[in-house]
Chains A and B, each alone.
Chain A
């Protein structure tokens, strides 16, 4: 904690983080460090608190930090609102984003953008040109929502990318597109100069076929019970289920 060298090495650092939602404790004792250029995966059964962790990292008021701290680039951001966190470089892909009537996808892309960019060509890459003038998320299919979220994130170009089940509801054809977009966001084609970091929630692990992850964590009952090689973890989960993770001594 006190080592300044170490603090600079981590883009995100969580120490003994505890989070409550509507007065109910959901997460406790979360320790997690994500270094620059690293991608981490979060596994866990339904209701284990994975989305709660992402929401707390983004700073939504309903997700109250009741203990510990969140540090981004060494700065304590625990009490900052979501917009301040977005401005400091955190970007989030929602699993089920709300529809905002009267606000078009084009506007959302502009709102998200850190720089001037060619919205049309970016939308073209995500097969979303025809959606730009539509109200964001209104009548979008599962795959369209994912692509729209990723389009906004590409405009935002965050340093720390939080992805909540990017593959859910996406067909095989779109999964490739989604995978490619995530790879771009996380600078997977760079090796030495890669600086973007990611935290990906996945249920199925399919996304790992497109995006390599450096570390995996298993969240059970609101606490991280295992950290290690994500491929091995996934294999173990597939074979033994999450129940084993909680009691695993291997």
Chain B
């Protein structure tokens, strides 16, 4: 408990500390009060809870082809269940009560005093999930998580801890969504990922917020020797502001991280999305790919690769497409090498759709509108390596659904 007191103390000291990036928000301006939602044993009972929106965020209500689910509505955990052996899905607070050892992971990857938002999650009641794949376990189907907001002006505080134990393989699909007509709301989501020796963890997240929502995810990842972490992030729908800059630390030899971010900024949206990988052991490799499209909103696409030791490889790619006047994209790729034997590169490009490409497609019979849509779709169509075929299909389906709504 001494450690918890110390955590609290650090949080209190950071309670007013603004984040480095993004508009400064005051969580006190939002309400922490929301109607209680009862627990449901089966996902199909969620239909009464506005399940259409959950589906919108990529949650498979039928639970088919999922190895378990976690669903949170506002501040209530309404469902958490693992369906396959070797997996565990619990509410984070419940898990902390159940496992003493979990406290070692609590605020270990993310600093509680990183900024006022991390501090706020610690200093107020929160929910969130704990997901764990047991050593050596492999599942065919992904786990799914959904964090849903429907109470107007609510502040949703979430703390997630995800552990892929040694030699395990864990796939997670998560949808973060809010009711479309809520005029304002704040989502503060802390996620701590631990990928143990030779484990593989893929995390695919689709954001589907309302126009008035502000979102501040705070994530960090630790990958041990031979481990692989893959993050696919899709944010194509309107949101007032979104700022996130997860950091992945590769601490073991041969660890790998891949970040793919696909963003569309609607008019009025401010997106500041980055990924950072610290390569701290020989043989580590990392790739950060971001595709940003603006339809009138502003995007800052950040990427930072830090090579702390020799024998590492890393590449960063930031591409932006400006579809409408009034929108802006700032690509900020950063490479930082601390050893002569690092192999790090980046490419960045921001511009409009090439007229020559549109005309090429038109000369094959597409109208100008169809040609433009095909090119934008192609631009956003990042080829993601390493996902199991079913998950790859699922990801394509989710992307297509988001894309249709966004463009």
A225 CB–B CB distance under 8 Å: no
Stretch at the interface among A35-43, A100-108, A231-239: A100-108
Contacts of B356 in A (CB 8 A): 98
Contacts of A152 in B (CB 8 A): 364
Count of chain B residues with a beta carbon within 8 Å of a chain A beta carbon: 21
Contacts of B371 in A (CB 8 A): 83
The complex places the Cα of A156 from the Cα of B366 at a distance, in Å, of 12
Q: Which of B354, B363, B374, B379 contacts A86 (CB 8 A)?
A: B363
Name the residue of chain A whose CB is nearest to the CB of B361: A111
Name the residue of chain B whose CB is nearest to the CB of A58: B363
B45 CB–A CB distance under 8 Å: no
Tell me whether B360 and A100 are in contact (CB under 8 A).
Answer: yes
Q: Which of A94, A101, A114, A156 contacts B360 (CB 8 A)?
A: A94
Instruction: State which size class the interface on A falls in.
Output: 20 to 34
Tell me whether A111 and B378 are in contact (CB under 8 A).
Answer: no
Q: Which of B359, B363, B364, B377 contacts A102 (CB 8 A)?
A: B377
Tell me whether B375 and A81 are in contact (CB under 8 A).
Answer: no
Tell me whether B364 and A86 are in contact (CB under 8 A).
Answer: yes
Known A-B contacts A98-B354, A103-B375, A107-B374; the reply to A112 vs B365 at CB < 8 A is yes
A82 CB–B CB distance under 8 Å: yes
A47 CB–B CB distance under 8 Å: no
Tell me whether A108 and B359 are in contact (CB under 8 A).
Answer: no
B42 CB–A CB distance under 8 Å: no
Contacts of B359 in A (CB 8 A): 60-61, 82
Chain A residues at the B interface, C-beta cutoff of 8 Å: 58, 60-61, 81-83, 85-87, 91-92, 94, 97-98, 100-103, 107-108, 111-112, 114, 135, 152, 156
Chain B residues at the A interface, C-beta cutoff of 8 Å: 354, 356-357, 359-368, 371, 374-375, 377-381
Q: Mind listing 29 A-B residue pairs with CB under 8 Å?
A: A58-B363, A60-B363, A81-B362, A81-B368, A82-B363, A83-B362, A83-B363, A83-B365, A86-B362, A86-B363, A86-B365, A92-B363, A97-B360, A98-B356, A98-B360, A100-B360, A101-B378, A102-B375, A103-B361, A103-B374, A103-B375, A107-B374, A107-B378, A108-B361, A112-B365, A114-B365, A152-B364, A156-B364, A156-B365
